[in-house]
A and B are shown apart, each in its own frame.
Chain A
């Protein structure tokens, strides 16, 4: 794995997990919206 490839992989994994965190945040609020 060269330095550039590592950087790209780091960026990709970071984005995936930021997206997961946002999905949980918005998802649970949406659940609140639906249920109230």
Chain B
């Protein structure tokens, strides 16, 4: 396969090009990275709304003190299911969807390296979440012991227990297969002159994310396998009565759990690193240092897990190690934030919807980062642990962090996917309502936590009423704001026709193919150099 003589976009004159098959078979048996990417994104949006409606139940119940709408047991199911659905069903599949769509286009590959496994890793997901959601109807109710599934509490789950374990196994399997696909694609399918350090940041952050996934999803699977055998096969991995150690579950879970938060934020860093240069009309400041920073974050994410367990009891040396290691993560994260700001410095910026979401990401994710630093301080964490301060912290990281980056990416690449510009006015409306309401929802939770309100409770003392009411109003507003996004999607093909380049400042191979991107692209490899010329 010699690539030196062909032009960038060979899809138009590819002699064996064929379109998709008709009907449902196109989707059921799809091996096309764009179709699978689309399915991932739609699935993720669906889960976002299901998980979101559970958040609405939670916030309605907490709007005023006392028990109003649901039984405490069901409330606990809602917090547990909301977390599992948002983490594994909404945020992770959204990034896998973006990866499927954009990685082959960005590296000049005709498709993912393992297209049939790609089909499997998607179709396992609806099965996994079908099983998980079906537990809502089972005797004993849906899992209610928290998404962290700590034993011995989780072993009190009713009939839902084995279904919870099986669905977590399936989610893990899907993620591992997706991650293997991403790594194998990036390693083997790049355009001939795209060296590793020439890869766009989104590809880089996804490569690092995929390594994290392969290391930690099997660990989660191992942890829940041990829960299963403890419950049904007489082992006592985590049962103190049989010589087991319940704290060991927490260690194993968080060995998965902490890298998991980087799995949900590194691709977000990648998306933002694509968007800010485009709308600042400057090259990304410090591309290579971004790569090293992301690698550092990935490495550090493996040696900080016990900061989730500061109150469980551990030697002083352990507390000090995990405290300082955690604080160290602020350094590479600071490098990234510095680089984004330096990219914008003296750029000619415009503020289209993707840029607005990216800017909000930089500001609001940083708030979540700072509260994370506060939580890392072990003596202070004894006070914050299991309070709403923690809830405020990780929602800042995940909602105006990961979710805003997903939204930014969706608006940024939507014209490439549909061939039409979305409605900018409605997009901006979506941005501003989301940003106002997200802060209204989660900022008061800091105060609630500092005042001592515990998390995962359906009722609270009356002194917490005001901030809870504000948070509930914000949550309903944020939920309704997302309907604007659905409107944007439904009208996505009504806008003016998009050019191939779409954005004035865009750069990279994905902008050299037509809009909408044809079903097959780069059947002959492009020159990566062409994509960078606009900046060099």
Chain A residues close to B by CB (< 8 Å): 1-3, 6, 9-10, 13-14, 17-18, 20-29, 31-33, 35-36
Contacts and interface: CB of A to CB of B under 8 A. Distances in A.
Contacts of A13: 183-184, 187-188
Interface of B: 1, 113-114, 176, 179-180, 183-184, 187-189, 192, 214-219, 221-223, 225-226, 235-238, 242-245, 248, 252, 255
Contacts of A33: 237
B225 A29 contact: yes
B180 A21 contact: yes
A10 B252 CA distance: 31
A1 to B, nearest CB: 7
A36 to B, nearest CB: 4
A33 B248 CA distance: 11
Contact of A28 (B180, B219, B238): B219
A2 B180 CA distance: 22
A21 B218 contact: yes
A3 B2 CA distance: 11
A32 B176 contact: no
Interface centre among B176, B188, B252 (most CB of A within 10 A): B188
25 contacts: A2-B1, A6-B188, A9-B188, A10-B184, A14-B113, A17-B214, A18-B180, A21-B180, A21-B217, A24-B215, A24-B218, A25-B221, A26-B222, A28-B218, A28-B219, A28-B222, A28-B252, A28-B255, A31-B252, A32-B237, A32-B248, A32-B252, A35-B245, A36-B243, A36-B245
A17 B226 contact: no
Nearest to B225: A29
B188 A10 contact: yes
Contacts, number: 76
Contacts of B238: 36
A20 B215 contact: yes
A17 B114 CA distance: 13
A14 B180 CA distance: 6
A28 B216 CA distance: 10
A3 B216 CA distance: 33
Contacts of B187: 9, 13
A32 B214 contact: no
A28 B223 contact: yes
Given A10-B113, A21-B218, 12 more contacts: A1-B192, A3-B1, A6-B1, A9-B188, A17-B179, A17-B183, A24-B215, A28-B223, A32-B222, A33-B237, A36-B237, A36-B245
Contacts of A31: 252
Contacts of B189: 6
Contacts of B245: 35-36
A23 B393 CA distance: 33
A20 B213 CA distance: 11
Contacts of B216: 24
B184 A14 contact: yes
Nearest to B184: A13
A30 B244 CA distance: 14
A29 to B, nearest CB: 5
Closest 10 CB pairs of A and B: A25-B218, A28-B222, A24-B218, A36-B244, A32-B237, A29-B222, A13-B184, A17-B180, A36-B237, A21-B218
A2 B176 CA distance: 28
A26 B225 CA distance: 10
B28 to A, nearest CB: 23
A12 B156 CA distance: 44
A32 B188 contact: no
B222 A20 contact: no
B99 to A, nearest CB: 16
A14 B223 CA distance: 24
Contacts of B219: 24-25, 28
B354 to A, nearest CB: 32
A14 B214 CA distance: 11
A15 B393 CA distance: 39
Nearest to A18: B180
A9 to B, nearest CB: 5
B200 to A, nearest CB: 21
Nearest to A33: B237
A20 to B, nearest CB: 6
A36 B171 CA distance: 27
B214 A20 contact: yes
